[in-house]
Amino acid sequence: MITPEQAGERYIAVHHRLFRAVNDEMSGCGLSMARTKVLLRLREQGPTRQSVLAADFGLSPHSITDVVDALERQGLAERRPDATDRRAKLVAITEAGEACLGVASAARERLLGQIFGALSQEDRATLLRLLDVLDDAARPLITSPAVPGTPVVPA
């Protein structure tokens, strides 16, 4: 008989391996998963205050500052004045960030296709159903606010 602990430990091990494989592939493009998610959000929402980004991702102000600083050093994002509040800054994706995001997204899609392409359509449907069950079981256990489906990942 397989215990819940055995199943959980195996799931966690596979999750970490998959996350590392995707993160390593994207790092070859100069991005981490966390930086990619921030760039994607900036592309979708346009220039955004750091405090909004921190809240969106469930990160502390210090952590989002680290992510934005790294993106800015790479020339992938920039801080701009906020026309509605002179004290605030908006974070915006740059043209270089758009280009880098395209390369990283393609690498991520290729790797996920390679990994999850090993499953049949039926197996992928079963996996998604099981992940929904696990997500529903875990959701009430979370005490800190975060966006559903968004792992809190440091830069």
Per-domain boundaries in the chain: 24-139
Instruction: Write down the pLDDT at residue 145.
Output: 53
Tell me the fold of 24-139. Answer: Arc Repressor Mutant, subunit A (1.10.10)
pTM of the model: 0.72
**Which 3 state secondary structure label does DSSP give 3?**
coil
Tell me how far apart the alpha carbons of residues 104 and 7 are, in angstroms, rounded to a whole number.
32
- Which residues contact residue 146 at a Cβ distance below 8 angstroms, ignoring those fewer than 6 apart? 57, 58, 152
For residue range 4-41, list pLDDT tens digits in order: 999 999 999 999 999 898 888 888 778 888 888 999 99
